[in-house]
Chain A
């Protein structure tokens, strides 16, 4: 169990989290989402140890507690690496630091990256796939991926996801994704966590979330139900309802529509911008 306990963190006077608590079961693929600036990347960095909490702890599973960073694979959109190093030098440095005996370059071989190229000379997509292959090579127990999955083209994304899926099927790896785009990853996700104003607005397994959020197409606002947000059209409106239960269907005037993850998250977020 990865546990975040009573975490508080801020940048100077600006507080991002205050007594924040979250439990992520081992081996789950988890999605953390929310509006820009809500603290998703900050949360990932706090787990990775790249940011230090002002108060509270990140408590890792027992197998990792001695040296957590050795088993954490972290990548953010800063793609931080020693840019003046060449690809092969960066791999050697990485192998050295993580005590790796070998390096699996199968991901890199799909691109046209040469060993002698400097990191700063790589394109964004190349650099992303290189960084991803670095973090996969340490055989992490916790994988933290911050919004880089859509910086690579669809083909490389497919290749990367195949490798990720292989890892998930072979080992008990906890994957935490921060993403705003759910294409290609929607069915990989088991749990959805939505952050709002430094707190958890939603923490549900994806199947139950899909059962609990519905769109009602009607001319009249459904009474007695929580409406997250709505879209108004000339002759009707769409109401996003949460939480929805089967029993409510009888009393609702209008069509009830099932939603995909993009629409669900959009419904939650739309309420914030209203």
Chain B
């Protein structure tokens, strides 16, 4: 099971590397648009970062793609491998390749201070995409949904910073950024993670549409509560930031 998953992981990575086409394009751009001050190395780094982020989302969302495309669901449900083991053998190669790419990113960007935030974001993207993988049949809806949750991540992190500063937990609105981002990630991941696990644990050969109830009973309400809270506190946060200027 694990060998197959490693192979599939590499295939997904190769699919994401379509972004590499940006490199020859940007080389051409480098020759002709030098006056705009673009440097090739910057473009390359930008492209690479884009690959890593896209790959994090893509590998999360496509975690059961082999089973969907190959019509192997019934087979996988009939083999004597526990659901937990299947999930573990799927997550392991993906997390490993993601970690490898992330380490390369650190080396490439040579900017240790921001790297940890990028790292957190990369794993957040992977897991939220993974937890949403059952809902996504179309790539467009998938990226829309995931973009929403990307945005929410930053908004909620800043809202939490604001709240923490308001109740005097942190000295300034800028401190403890890492912690607030971690809390934000956990808060967003939890309802989706619980819904995903509930669905996955009880997953069987019934039509998928009939099995998505936990998304409606757990994730959606949590998301709505989240949105309401963020709307309230993010506004206050923005006003505070303006006041500080």
Spell out A's residues near B (CB within 8 Å): 11-12, 45, 48-52, 67, 69-70, 72, 74, 76, 78, 80-85, 93, 96-98, 120
B230 to chain A, nearest CB (A): 35
> How far is it, in angstroms, between the C-alpha of A97 and the C-alpha of B75 when the chains are bound?
11
Knowing A12-B210, A50-B78 touch, does A80 contact B204 (C-beta < 8 A)?
no
Contact A93 B4 (CB under 8 A): yes
**A97 contacts across to B, CB distance below 8 A:** 1, 79-81
B178 to chain A, nearest CB (A): 41
Contact B78 A48 (CB under 8 A): yes
> Is B42 part of the binding interface, using a Cβ–Cβ cutoff of 8 Å?
no
Contact B66 A82 (CB under 8 A): yes
Given A69, A74, A80, A98, which contacts B73 in the complex, CB threshold below 8 Å? A80
Contact A80 B69 (CB under 8 A): no
> How far is it, in angstroms, between the C-alpha of A96 and the C-alpha of B89 when the chains are bound?
14
Q: Provide a sorted-by-A list of 14 A–B residue pairs whose CB atoms are within 8 angstroms.
A: A11-B206, A45-B205, A48-B78, A50-B74, A70-B80, A78-B74, A80-B71, A81-B75, A83-B71, A83-B72, A84-B69, A85-B4, A97-B79, A98-B79
> How far is it, in angstroms, between the C-alpha of A77 and the C-alpha of B206 when the chains are bound?
15
> 10 additional contacts, CB 8 Å, given A80-B71, A84-B66, A84-B70?
A50-B204, A50-B205, A69-B78, A69-B80, A72-B78, A80-B74, A96-B3, A97-B80, A97-B81, A98-B80
Q: Quick one: closest A residue to B203, CB to CB?
A: A52
B76 to chain A, nearest CB (A): 8
Contact B71 A69 (CB under 8 A): no
A39 to chain B, nearest CB (A): 13
Spell out B's residues near A (CB within 8 Å): 1, 3-4, 66-67, 69-75, 77-81, 202, 204-207, 210
Contact A69 B79 (CB under 8 A): yes
Given B3, B71, B207, which contacts A78 in the complex, CB threshold below 8 Å? B71
> How far is it, in angstroms, between the C-alpha of A93 and the C-alpha of B73 when the chains are bound?
15
Given A51, A81, A83, which contacts B206 in the complex, CB threshold below 8 Å? A51
**A85 contacts across to B, CB distance below 8 A:** 4, 70
B128 to chain A, nearest CB (A): 27
**B1 contacts across to A, CB distance below 8 A:** 93, 96-97
> How far is it, in angstroms, between the C-alpha of A74 and the C-alpha of B73 when the chains are bound?
13
**B70 contacts across to A, CB distance below 8 A:** 81-85, 120
Q: Quick one: closest B residue to A78, CB to CB?
A: B74
> How far is it, in angstroms, between the C-alpha of A70 and the C-alpha of B25 when the chains are bound?
53
Knowing A51-B206, A52-B202 touch, does A80 contact B75 (C-beta < 8 A)?
yes
A158 to chain B, nearest CB (A): 27
Q: Quick one: closest B residue to A53, CB to CB?
A: B204
**A93 contacts across to B, CB distance below 8 A:** 1, 4
Closest 8 CB pairs of A and B: A80-B74, A69-B80, A70-B80, A80-B75, A83-B70, A50-B77, A82-B72, A52-B204
Given A11, A48, A72, A84, which contacts B207 in the complex, CB threshold below 8 Å? A11
Contact B204 A51 (CB under 8 A): yes
Contact B80 A76 (CB under 8 A): no
Contact A51 B72 (CB under 8 A): no
Given B4, B67, B77, B207, which contacts A49 in the complex, CB threshold below 8 Å? B77
**B205 contacts across to A, CB distance below 8 A:** 45, 50-51
> How far is it, in angstroms, between the C-alpha of A69 and the C-alpha of B210 when the chains are bound?
24
